[in-house]
Structure 1
Amino acid sequence: MNSPAAAPRPLPTRAPTVAIVLLSLAAFASAANMRVIDPLLVQLSATFGVTVGTASIAATAFLLANGVFVLVHGPFGDRYGKMPVVAIACIAAALCCILSSLATSIAWLTVARFLTGVTSSAVIPLAIAWVGDNVSYERRQATLARFLTGQTLGLMTGSAMGGAIGDWLGWRWVFALLAVLYVIAGVALFAVIRARPDIAHATGQGRGSMIGQMVGVLRRRWALTVVLVVALEGGMFWGAFTFVGADLHQRFGLGLAALGLAVAAFGAGGFAYVLVAPHLVRVLGERGLCRWGAAGLGIAFAAMALAPTAEVEFAAVALSGVSFYMLHNTLQTHGTQMAPEARGAAMALFALCLFVGQAIGVPVAAPIVDRWGAPPVFWAAAIVLPLLGFWFADALRRRPA
């Protein structure tokens, strides 16, 4: 496969396995944190004497902070070292989770969740950027797929974990458990940093203001292409996928818990990709992954729109998980190479564009779903995502090595 220009310093072929595992654990906690509060809203409304709608502001505060403050962490990681910033972020996120567990009002909880989003948002983009700094390009996509194990499992289990532990022990223990996971990851990362300082140093090139670094990345035509594609991917995919649970409820009469099952089916598809990613990367190459992933997304969303039974739609959701990560993991790999001298800033910009795409895609799709149901937005995704994936595959072919 064609690879972009090499990073400023020689990279080892393999990063230490323990570092990948610990970064994946931190990613698990961060991904679970994104959706863990959803099944707790009824308990929170009862605890604080507010409506469920009012309680949901705590979830919104986390997502807002998680999407915006990543822009701050990226340049920090370039300047002070990505792994140390991730380790500090884990400890800070743990403290914020403890603060959430001690909340005595919805206002307190909202502030604590906002701060959790501020700190937690550093973990996944900087971990991916660290892989870019420490793994040669030829092995990077397979290594990122292994790292994605934690993120995918967190996405799969976050909502279910929140509901189960909330019912069993109460909502406060959900945040306490997340705090424990963050502490384990953070303390262990500090131990790795002490044992292997060579893999934890800063690039030494992430200088200048945050805005200046972002502008510098966007001045590169290929970087602009990558972030544009990931924004469109995020908007189209999540703008449609968000309504899978509602569609299962409206068309097939399933309970609202189907949303959690749909997320689990998507995560299971993503985990299946993780298991076979090294083989797929070797056999298909980057352009093949884009084409087959895009084709799979088209088939999956068309099947969701036409599904005669809930079982068919769940199978389509699982297929969408495999296909999404085939395309998205390729985009992530190129995200790590947009600006090798400032990978933290580049991955922060990558994450922000994905977040902005989601933030636009869902409200655009919502009135369509309200009026005509989910199948029209499924059809839109079935058409646009394959076109997007095939166009990016062609752009990879035309781009100079």
Structure 2
Amino acid sequence: MSRDHSSQGGAASNIPFLLGTCCFSSMAALRACDTLLPVLADEFAVTLGQAARVVIAFAIAYGLFQLFFGPLGDRYGKLRIIALGALASMVGNIAAFLSPGLDALVAARILSGACAAGIFPLAMAWLGDNLPYEKRQAALARLVSAGVMGMLSGQWLSGLIAQWVGWRFAFLILAFLFLVSGGMLLHALRNQKVEPGPVKARLSVLQGLRNIISRPASRWILTVVTIEGALALGAMAFIPSFLQRQYGVSLAMAGAIAACYGLGGLLYTRLAVRLLGRFGESGLARLGGLLLFLGLVSFAYIPSLAWAPVACALAGFGFYGLHNTLQTNATQMAPAARGAAMSLFACCLFIGQSLGVSVAAWAADHLSGALAFLIAGIGLFVLAQIVARRGPPSVTD
């Protein structure tokens, strides 16, 4: 098993915290444009669906470049690649701040998504390398908690900043976050002389990915997470714009309500260990599917604006209950190349998101915005029941 030596002694004492700050930044960047879609549509005189290119472009780049960063992390050290990726993401967000038009903004988002791609999956892989399986779900939940806080902040603060000083400054703050988080991790690695451990086998990227995909258990997990990304993340991207169109609320208010999705996820991370002990992995997946159904379907037909935060929180809690179960299973797909495996897992999630956002954008322009939430809620409920019935796949499958 590839193992970063940073897990030993005092050198690693602050590594989980620093990983959390990097994941916070990457998830804030991922969700920052959700709340900005209406203002970007007005700024560049395009439809909401056309403005959604800034979300789709980030998701595609973020997903595809997982395949590049995973093997790099396995070969040169996960922590070092995370730090460098965060610092490179700063450049993409500065470019977004300076963008003269929508096409330039989309290009900047592609750069930002590509550079941030390795952060979260390599952080999960580092935990997988350094913790036994029975302790991983709790540790992953803590890491996810940092990511959820980033998503929450990205959705809410981007709207607030856009309302106060303009949408461009949201990207300037993201650049600062990446500078601080990546710089702190790189500084810790240099000062504490934390070096990556040797890799037993240096397979080519394609050979490594082929080995992972050749396993039925891996194909199962990757298929499920692609569908999950399309349904859940595709619908989530349009919560703020739906609220603005349906109720005429401000950017800041729409972002704050949408951020309750993150609050639901944060509550899950605080209860994850207790819930896992009571329901087990299969029961947790079922609970997640039920709450996703209640949150998203009721969100599509909310009786009043007051119900929207509750629906968002239910959906957020449910999503992380289901997704954290899949993440834990994914850490066992390829223990000898865990960075590549987790990167492939994340790639499928965000390729699914890009497909889901594309379909939801078309529906928002041509049909009904509520339709995406209805389909997502029903689809995720069914998916969760299938996951629960199958149970955790064996690494030898």
Separation in 1, partners of 2:38, 2:226 = 33
1:290-339 Cα deviation digits (max 9, x unpaired): 12112222222343344322222331221111111011011111112211
Partner residue, 1:292 = 287
- Residues 13, 135 of structure 1: 8 Å contact kept: no
Please show how residues 343-354 of structure 1 align to structure 2 within 5 Å.
343-354=338-349
- Residues 24, 147 of structure 2: 8 Å contact kept: yes
Structure 1 residue 166: Cα displacement: 4.1
Partner residue, 2:296 = 301
- Residues 203, 341 of structure 1: 8 Å contact kept: no
Query: Structure 2 vs 1, CA of residues 52 and 305 (structure 1 numbering), >3 Å: closer, same or farther?
Result: closer
1:250-283 Cα deviation digits (max 9, x unpaired): 6x53436364234211011011111222222233
1:160-195 Cα deviation digits (max 9, x unpaired): 323333454555543333222222222221233246
Structure 2: gaps of 5 or more residues: none
Separation in 2, partners of 1:44, 1:373 = 21
- Residues 155, 263 of structure 1: 8 Å contact kept: no
Partner residue, 1:235 = 230
- Residues 365, 377 of structure 1: 8 Å contact kept: yes
Aligned: 1:115 with 2:111 = yes
Structure 1 residue 16: Cα displacement: 4.6
TM-score, normalised with respect to structure 1: 0.84
Aligned: 1:277 with 2:272 = yes
Separation in 2, partners of 1:27, 1:162 = 17
Aligned: 1:390 with 2:385 = yes
Structure 1 residue 366: Cα displacement: 5.0
Partner residue, 1:134 = 130
Separation in 2, partners of 1:240, 1:42 = 16
Separation in 2, partners of 1:75, 1:138 = 25
Structure 1, 270-279 or 218-227: larger mean CA deviation: 270-279
1:206-256 Cα deviation digits (max 9, x unpaired): 622222211111001111111111111112223444444455456x53436
Separation in 2, partners of 1:197, 1:182 = 22
Please show how residues 182-261 of structure 1 align to structure 2 within 5 Å.
182-194=178-190, 200-202=195-197, 204-205=199-200, 207-245=202-240, 247-249=242-244, 253-255=247-249, 257=251, 259-261=254-256
- Residues 89, 119 of structure 1: 8 Å contact kept: yes
- Residues 144, 329 of structure 1: 8 Å contact kept: yes
Partner residue, 1:51 = 45
- Overall identity of the aligned pairs, in %: 36
Partner residue, 2:26 = 30
One-letter code of the match for 2:20? S
Aligned: 1:317 with 2:316 = no
Structure 1 residue 112: Cα displacement: 3.7
Separation in 2, partners of 1:268, 1:347 = 25
Structure 1 residue 361: Cα displacement: 2.6
User: What's the secondary structure of 1:127's corresponding residue?
Assistant: helix
Separation in 2, partners of 1:172, 1:367 = 26
One-letter code of the match for 1:95? V
One-letter code of the match for 2:69? H
Partner residue, 2:94 = 98
Aligned: 1:356 with 2:351 = yes
Structure 1 residue 379: Cα displacement: 3.8
* Equivalent in 255, 260, 266 of residue 265 of structure 1: 260
Aligned: 1:75 with 2:71 = yes
CA-based RMSD? 3.4
Structure 1 residue 129: Cα displacement: 1.2
Structure 1, 63-72 or 53-62: larger mean CA deviation: 53-62
Structure 1 residue 111: Cα displacement: 4.0
One-letter code of the match for 1:384? G
Separation in 2, partners of 1:248, 1:41 = 12
Query: Structure 2 vs 1, CA of residues 244 and 354 (structure 1 numbering), >3 Å: closer, same or farther?
Result: same
Query: Structure 2 vs 1, CA of residues 291 and 197 (structure 1 numbering), >3 Å: closer, same or farther?
Result: farther
Structure 1: gaps of 5 or more residues: 1-6
- Residues 206, 213 of structure 1: 8 Å contact kept: no
Separation in 2, partners of 1:380, 1:370 = 16
Structure 1 residue 139: Cα displacement: 1.1
- Residues 235, 357 of structure 1: 8 Å contact kept: yes
